[in-house]
Amino acid sequence: MKKKFDIIPAIDLIDGKCVRLSQGDYAKKTIYNENPLEVAKQFEDIGITRLHLVDLDGAKKGEVVNLKVLEAIASKTNLVIDFGGGIKTENSIQSVINAGAAIVTIGSLAVKQPELFYSWILKFGADKILLGADVKDENITISGWLENTDINILDFLSQNISKGLTQAFCTDVSKDGMLEGPSIDLYKKIIHQFPNLIFIASGGVTTMQDVNQLEEISCGGVIIGKAIYEGRISMNELKDYIKDVG
């Protein structure tokens, strides 16, 4: 059976606006749209069913900031939303789910407080928790890419899968926002080692050829941001692709 493959556009939020950063640098931000709901509706209109919503203010502050934007998109579209940024407590997970997120994305906390992260997988269910792993030279990097670790991505995933994790995305920070193509070799390794993991590619996707390649290697989906906003991948191309896949 052919694996399900999701096109997952990213909307990154600062001050309630749709922005993109280059390599996680808040000083290098581009505002693409003042109204994220408008952007989300455009995606839904072409057949997109899933959205990756990132609260960059929240990530910086250490608590969820852009809850109102999540509520607006969740209540006015049928998109399946995964939401991340600033989620540090059980209460914040609950408030994000209550606001309409189907899935909660956790990044650095899973590295710094693994036992707490495992407890959330148990409490909320693996279908509600998405691990976001940032990687540089195949090692985990945390805190908005400011801290490198010597934790290998394959060991890290193995540990989390043994605790019940079923879905993860991985961003090669050297690629993100640089429009240089995704880390195919790394992703192949991950998919080969963990065939049952729902694995989502992220970072570096520039063309529909990249998207095709990620589907071919059996990724469960791809998160695309800058390439859409800068017109390298057009809405029409995405629409045609979704039609063909559907």
Catalytic residues: 12, 134
Closest CA to 149 of 118, 183, 114: 114
d(CA 163, CA 119): 9
Return phi, psi of residue 56, to 5°: -70, -35
Kindly give the pairing relationship between strand 167-172 and strand 198-202. parallel
CA distances from 116 to 6, 104, 109, 162, 163 (A): 29, 14, 8, 15, 11
Instruction: Name residues whose C-beta falls within 8 Å of residue 118's C-beta, 6 or more positions apart in sequence.
Output: 160, 163, 164
Q: Which DSSP helix (H) or strand (E) runs through 132?
A: strand 129-136
Closest CA to 120 of 140, 99, 106, 102: 106
